[in-house]
Structure 1
Amino acid sequence: MTDLTKHIFSISNAHEFEQASLAIFNQQAENCQIYKEYLYHLRILAKDVTSLTQIPYLPISFFKTHEVLSSRNTPEIIFSSSGTTGMIQSKHLVTDVSVYEQSFNMAFEQFYGSVTNTCLLALLPSYLERDGSSLIYMVDALLNKSKHPDSGYFLHNHDELYLKLKKLQSTNQKTILIGVTYALLDFIEKYKVDFPELIVMETGGMKGKRKEMVREELHQLLQRGFGVQAIHSEYGMTELLSQAYSYGNGVFNCPPWMKIFLRDTNDPLSLSPNNKTGGINIIDLANVNSCSFIATQDLGKLFPDGSFEVLGRFDNADIRGCNLLVN
């Protein structure tokens, strides 16, 4: 891990974030071939980019068609997106997986505390049934850190999950249930749980198993089914090595090395002001060895404190495997 990479995870203010972003931009403008070509066609010279708001964002679709790399090292792992048959998958070539591990470990601890004494239950059948999922890589690592004997995966064994939830509630055990949306709905159609202290975290997406639902309707169903006051969410994707988290109401916050900007829906090279709907651009400094500046196909709203909401997707975008729900 380089000195620049280590600095990413010690960022504590906006000035440090901007300085790290500009340093990584200059490195990637020179060493990430597809980003370098993209800047060339935009007629943007790296030396002319002197502030955060001037940094151009690489369209996320390039992860489907090109190797997005700014390191000459051989990839240690390749993460791939899910998708229907015939759909081109995004591929994220990761040359230093320890950067990803530090990113998700630090972010999870920032938002939820140490996982060591937490019981972590994972209801992620569609992710478990394929290879290359960055979410499964993260959950595997968190499960290994959890010291609770009941932590683990559940595929379609809902009976066992129900019994474990009842047992965990009776012992006042801190418990997080992370699940793909359709599987959580399948579970509450068969079982009703009243576990107010349970943290239910949905990862978004119906994976073609059910019709999409607006977030409010979905969260109300899940709140009633699990007996909780709010539904947490995780916002991540194959092309990123960081995640944002929501404690409820669909409002996400980023860790210190990740930041959201909005672009104008009619002018993709211009940024939009807060409280307006725009395309979500992400700076993920953990992507130091690929590209840290990504223009996603999600639509969102940005708030003055840096938190954001995901409102849907551009009409002509592919349905991404970890797609969040249209609001």
Structure 2
Amino acid sequence: MEVSMRSIVLTKGVPDFSEGAVSFDEDGHLERGKTPTVMNPNDEFAVQAALQTKVRHGGHVSGMSMGPPGYAEVLEEAMESVYLDDSYLLSDRELAASDTWATAITLNAGLETYQEQVAEIDLVFAGFKTADGETGQTGPQTCWGMDWPIVTHVIALDVDPEERRLRAKRLVEGDVDEIETVEAPLPCFVVTDPEFEPTYRKASHRLTHKQLRAETQERAANHEEHLTTWDHVDLNLDPDYIGLDGSPTIVSSVDPIPKAPSEREATMIDPGEDDMGEVLEEMHPFAAGGDAGTGTGD
């Protein structure tokens, strides 16, 4: 008997810290309003694990994120990469300024609401940590609220839907990196490691992967039609336990982000005729296509 799998992949939007994209004020503080938001890089491995599960075993994969309305674009990005069937955004002002604990409470409520209104969940996938928080707490805290088994630092996995078992390899870091194989019953929470690599050894898996990609292009183009937004009322959450009021973390201070040092030496010149001649002389080897270090351009 074929068993249909239900998976949720959690993802978050973070500032785009790539060179030239991030914006700082004069004091060196991040300006989120002027910095593009992208999917958290570590979530990409959770996305790949969810996609591998869907390719191998079929079923339904939903994306879920907590954040402002703009995070819908992050879920759209996830739909394009993991071929999500639909997305769920947990969003309203009461959720603003949540720390990891308040975020986990909200995500937990989102998963429970999904199970009450949509379907029972077999697997939840989460990334190792976020690029802006670097705590690695939200996934395990969310799982603690679900009272499910959790497998962290997963680098490879497979599922037996009929036996309802997860078998995974996880990276154990110590004096020497080791890999251990573990099993867990479903439903289960999976936190992927950056070393995770999806594998599609069977021709049927590769064909399914191609078909899903084609199907998702049309779905992602109309992402809003497949997006559900829940606020704290929909999630039956008390405002005293979410957002800033529900966050026990106290930030004592914020240090400006140091600007990255230049990797190249620079010579400042005035745009005079003589100085520009020196610039042209320096650039000539590069324009000639030769070795700039030896000046042997032809």
Higher RCO, 1 or 2 (CA under 8 Å, sep at least 6)? 2
TM-score (norm 2): 0.28
Flag the structure with larger Rg: 2
TM-score (norm 1): 0.26
